[in-house]
Structure 1
Amino acid sequence: MLRPATVDDLPNMLAWRNQDANRSVSITQHLIAAEEHAAWWSRVSQDPTRRVLMFEHSSRPLGVVTFFDHDPVARSASWGFYLDHDGTAADGTALLAWTKVMREAVAYAFAPEPDGLDVDLLEGEVLPHNESVRAMNRRLGFTEGEPYEQTVGDSTVTSIPVRLHRDDRPTRRSGKEQ
């Protein structure tokens, strides 16, 4: 289940985002300080082009989904997510949580408002070495664009843009889902 994040979720969000496994597959890989996290929340919680959602399974918070650059006129948005990697790995729910958060986030993006974003195009980016997310993206119908480099702090990071159009979503009935 996805629900709007609240200020009470900030400690979990920061702890999970700073886990080594999450930082290693993120565009921004430094440890995020509490002050930086609070400033981020102050901005995004007031930004109408953004939604920050908590992913819960069996009433337990397990991850965060962010939608940004939401443009209702163009019917597009970008997204990303991360999980409590350490917690889900320890209790054996990592694969379940990872699969469910991705499916629920994509469904949310294409669902009509007010229960979703009602977009026609969902975009994101993935690092080249994140093969598991790249494979799941393909399974969900995302296509990859040409890798590009961007400067983040003092580093250059290569990213692969991904995109999914509403009409290209696979369904079990269509046989497109693998």
Structure 2
Amino acid sequence: MLRQATDDDVHLMLSWRNQDINRQVSTTRHEITPAEHATWWSQVRADPARQVLVYVREQVPCGVVTFFDLRLDGPRTAGWGFYLDAEGLAARGETLPAWLEVMREAVDHAFDVLALDRLDGEVLAHNTVVRRMNRRFRFVEGTPRRAEVDGQEIEIIPISLDRDDRRRR
């Protein structure tokens, strides 16, 4: 289940985002400080082009889905991303089922609730597991670009999924 994030979720979101596994597959790899996170949260809450949702599995909050750059006039598009409580899910043996579920729910939210025509995102080239999962959900990879992150050059691959190409349950 996805629900709107609230002020009560801020500390959980920060702890999950700072897990090493989540930082390693992000373009923001440093440990985010509480002050940085508070600034981000205040900006997100005030921005109508953004949504932050908490993923809840069996009544336990365990992930975050973000939609940003929501464009609801003309072609309806948005960017998206997510991260999970990797440590908590691994300890419970629920990583893969949660991963599949959060992606299904995020795609459903994008097309059924937000009524998007296209959902966009990006993935780091070295993140082959996520790239395979994206293909399973019928996301199409675009032309990679190079960027410098923490003094290291990385390759970032844009992805997109059109409403008509989405996998139905």
Q: Same fold (TM over 0.5)?
A: yes
The equivalent residue for 1:136 is: 133
- CA distance, structure 1, for counterparts of residue 15 and residue 42 of structure 2: 18
Q: Which residues of structure 1 form unaligned runs of 5+?
A: 173-178
> 5 Å matches for 1:1-178?
1-73=1-73, 74-111=75-112, 116-152=113-149, 154-171=151-168
Cα offset for 1:85?
Answer: 0.3
Cα offset for 1:153?
Answer: 5.9
Secondary structure (helix, strand or coil) at the match of 2:159 reads strand
* Letter aligned with residue 44 of structure 2: V
Output one character per residue of 1:42-68: Cα deviation in whole Å (capped at 9) or x when no partner: 001110000000000111001000000
Q: How many residues align?
A: 168
Q: Which residues of structure 2 form unaligned runs of 5+?
A: none
Question: TM-score scaled to structure 2, two decimals?
Answer: 0.95
* Letter aligned with residue 57 of structure 2: H
Cα offset for 1:158?
Answer: 1.6
Cα offset for 1:110?
Answer: 0.1
Cα offset for 1:156?
Answer: 3.6
Q: What is the root-mean-square deviation of aligned Cα atoms in Å?
A: 1.2
Secondary structure (helix, strand or coil) at the match of 2:146 reads strand
Secondary structure (helix, strand or coil) at the match of 1:98 reads helix
Task: Indicate the percent of aligned positions where both proteins have the same amino acid.
Answer: 55
Cα offset for 1:151?
Answer: 4.0
Cα offset for 1:28?
Answer: 0.9
- CA distance, structure 2, for counterparts of residue 50 and residue 32 of structure 1: 20
